[in-house]
Chain A
Amino acid sequence: MTDQAYNFAYLDEQTKRMIRRAILKGLAVPGYQVPFASREMPMPYGWGTGGVQVTAACLTPEDVLKVIDQGADDTTNAVSIRKFFQRTAGVRVTESTGEASVIQTRHRIPEAPLREGQILVYQVPIPEPLRFLEPREAETRKMHELEEYGLMHVKLYEDIARHGEIATSYAYPVKVEGRYVMDPSPIPKFDNPKLGDCPAIQLFGAGREQRIYAVPPYTQVVSLDFDDHPFVASKAPHDCDLCGADESYLDEVIIDDAGGRMFVCSDTDFCAGRQAAGHRGRLSPAEVV
């Protein structure tokens, strides 16, 4: 049941039109950050108010919504956003990546391949990839206009000089269709290859910074790198201790006071699905025969 005290999906129609216009312009200019007038939402900044507004503008009553936080469906942040849209839009919710038509995410791209008909909405804290090199908005805007991305390469190269490799492991910058450099939000660089040539629509919302940007389906997205230091989508060199997966992104979890630790899939739906299918990891409970 939709809570009748709110308009469908909480936002008023004029706000949704403004956000919808921004989303369409973002899709027309992939990777370019469109300014929008972010609204106060009944949750603090840092809780994904930009993503929530984009999701609100996209949802239809027929949608099935999934919300993940660092890959997990059951964190406080993910649960409260999911409840928010159950209450204000009356949509069905799911933890299954395959069943969802709209997925709002903080800091991960699901392991299961996305498909046409799905929308992935990213919560973005700092949309401007050049911000830590140049604090002034007018200057970064000019740099995007003139494709002056040399400073970004200098920063990455300094990484190599200092660490022998590019140390940036989250929010690793990408270039979209050979034009705009874009911050993919703080996803691990392991996820970067999934950004390009993706069948789903990818939308990015930054509430505090008031920016929306987009990557249409089947769009070229290239992680910045160098001929002598090519981009590597690295992950911890382990298998999941619960499902045995060797291809998924892993979280390291401390399991006892003696410093014991385990590696588990950050994507809880992916890991649970594998366990249900009988896959087992190093620390899976002994099989009951």
Chain B
Amino acid sequence: MTGIALGGGFSHPPEQAARAFRAVLEAVSRPGTIWTVEGAVPPAPLTVAAGTVLLTLADGTAPVHLAGDADCQPVRDWITFHIGAPLVGAEGAMFAVGRWQDLLPLGRFHPGDPDYPDRAATLIVLMNDLTNAGARLTGPGIKDAARLSLPEIAAFQRNAVQFPLGLDFIFTAGDRVAALPRSTKVEGAACM
């Protein structure tokens, strides 16, 4: 285990997790809104926000899948040390972390069961940037319409059609976080 794995966790877990959860709660409740979180300093390529979300929501009972270059030894060590989550394949993941291209195809992840749609995976997407531009979002949590710089459109439209099944997404860039639950309808231009 490298030295880096031992650092970068919460220094005051109950308060920091509470504040981070509140930001994620608002983000999921109001799809497209962008919030900042802090507390985690995870190894690259994880963002501060992705690390903070994982520290807040994942643990030994919540298996995590690492996709693409997120599946590296420093990240594995950091998650094992700070979170204790089992690292698993896409099919068994409650949370998955990676860049958009590395998370595809989405069909590998569990979209929930018809009688237990809550058993769907949550995908934490590592982005370079996150802005209120691009795709047009409507649905629960959104007063009229919102805009968010999604990496594409079609995949999210296919996901929403499965409702109440479907994946839920948390986008992270630096210390910023936004969310797209399966209930959101997505239209319009993608930002790459």
Contacts and interface: CB of A to CB of B under 8 A. Distances in A.
Contact of A13 (B17, B22, B24, B141): B17
A17 B29 contact: no
A217 B166 CA distance: 20
Interface stretch (A18-26, A246-254, A268-276): A18-26
B18 A28 contact: no
B6 to A, nearest CB: 19
A48 interface: no
B168 A177 contact: no
Nearest to B165: A29
B57 A28 contact: no
Interface stretch (A57-65, A66-74, A222-230): A57-65
A28 B62 contact: no
A204 interface: no
B29 A18 contact: no
Nearest to A11: B14
Interface string B1-40: 0000000000001110111011011101110000000000
B105 interface: no
A216 B29 contact: yes
A17 B59 contact: yes
Contact of A32 (B57, B122, B139, B164): B164
Contact of B115 (A8, A62, A142, A215): A142
A218 B142 contact: yes
Contacts of B114: 145
B164 A20 contact: no
A208 to B, nearest CB: 19
A9 B118 contact: no
Contacts of A17: 17, 56-59, 62
Nearest to A6: B14
Given A28-B181, A29-B118, 7 more contacts: A24-B57, A28-B120, A28-B182, A29-B163, A30-B183, A60-B15, A179-B164
Interface of A: 7-9, 13-14, 16-18, 20-30, 32, 34-35, 57-62, 116, 119, 141-142, 144-145, 177, 179-180, 199, 201, 215-220
